[in-house]
């Protein structure tokens, strides 16, 4: 059975590093057995349709393809359309003023162990806040994403995984793209 997914690539096309052309990326997804492939902005967001078997292999296949073609390692995190709906609906900061400007989500490749969540320091980045779900960290960053000490390197270490961050507008847009795909 075909389902709809989003793949989130970490750290591509940022500051001129780890360049991955979106057209090439879309081709890689097609070659991996995905259909209805669409990319969104240059930061590595790909919406696609696939069987669960194919989608389960996407993180490894795409990472290997990028390494072979372009020579750099790129972690890939995948979420289903259903998961994205829950992520969008579950943002604990949704009722705050300027919500769209200061809210972010870090998507992880693993579920969090409760002991790891307890290692996160709520005072690490004064003014910033976080809330963990099963495998996402919602961030409230009123001082800006570039100023926070709740960055992916810190979160990766404490939560024993690999995360990739998106601002709230991107999260919502990817959810909309998945809904459009489901409507086909």
Q: Hunting for tokens 């769209």 — which residue is that? A: 100
* Residue ranges of the chain whose pLDDT lies below 50: none
d(CA 40, CA 25): 11
Question: Would the CA dihedral through 13, 18, 23, 29 be positive or negative?
Answer: negative
Predicted confidence at residue 15, as pLDDT, reads 61
Q: What is the pLDDT of residue 77?
A: 97
Domains along the chain? 2-83 (3.30.70.1280), 85-172 (3.30.70)
CA distance 182 to 5: 10
On whether the CB atoms of residues 132 and 120 are closer than 8 A, the answer is: yes
For residue 24, which phi and psi values (nearest 5 degrees)?
-65, -40
| DSSP character at residue 72 | -
Beta strands 103-108; 136-140: pairing state = antiparallel
Please give the model's pTM, rounded to 2 decimal places.
0.95
Return the pLDDT at 14. 66
Which residues, 6+ apart, have CB-to-CB distance to 156 below 8 Å?
162, 163
| pLDDT confidence of residue 21 | 87
3-state DSSP assignment of residue 163? strand
How far apart are the C-alpha atoms of 50 and 175, rounded to whole Å? 17
Burial of 20 (C-beta count, 10 Å sphere; 0-12/13-18/19+): buried
119 vs 106: CA distance, rounded Å:
17
Q: What is the pLDDT of residues 57-100, one digit of tens each?
A: 999 999 999 999 998 889 999 999 999 999 999 999 999 998 99
């Amino acid at each position: 059975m075909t389902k709809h997914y989003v793949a989130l690539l970490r750290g591509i096309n940022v500051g001129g590093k780890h360049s991955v052309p979106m057209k090439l990326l879309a081709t890689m997804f097609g070659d991996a057995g995905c259909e209805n492939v669409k990319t969104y902005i240059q930061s590595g967001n790909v919406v696609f349709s696939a069987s669960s078997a194919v989608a389960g292999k996407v993180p490894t296949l795409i990472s290997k393809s990028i390494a072979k073609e372009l020579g750099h390692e790129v972690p890939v995190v995948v979420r289903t359309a259903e998961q994205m709906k829950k992520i969008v609906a579950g943002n604990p900061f949704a009722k705050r003023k300027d919500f769209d400007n200061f809210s972010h989500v870090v998507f992880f490749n693993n579920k969090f162990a409760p002991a790891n969540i307890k290692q996160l320091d709520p005072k690490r980045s004064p003014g910033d806040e976080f809330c963990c779900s099963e495998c996402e960290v919602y961030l409230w960053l009123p001082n800006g994403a570039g100023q926070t000490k709740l960055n992916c390197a810190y979160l990766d270490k404490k939560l024993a995984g690999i995360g990739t961050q998106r601002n709230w507008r991107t999260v919502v847009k990817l959810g909309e793209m998945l809904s459009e795909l489901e409507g086909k």
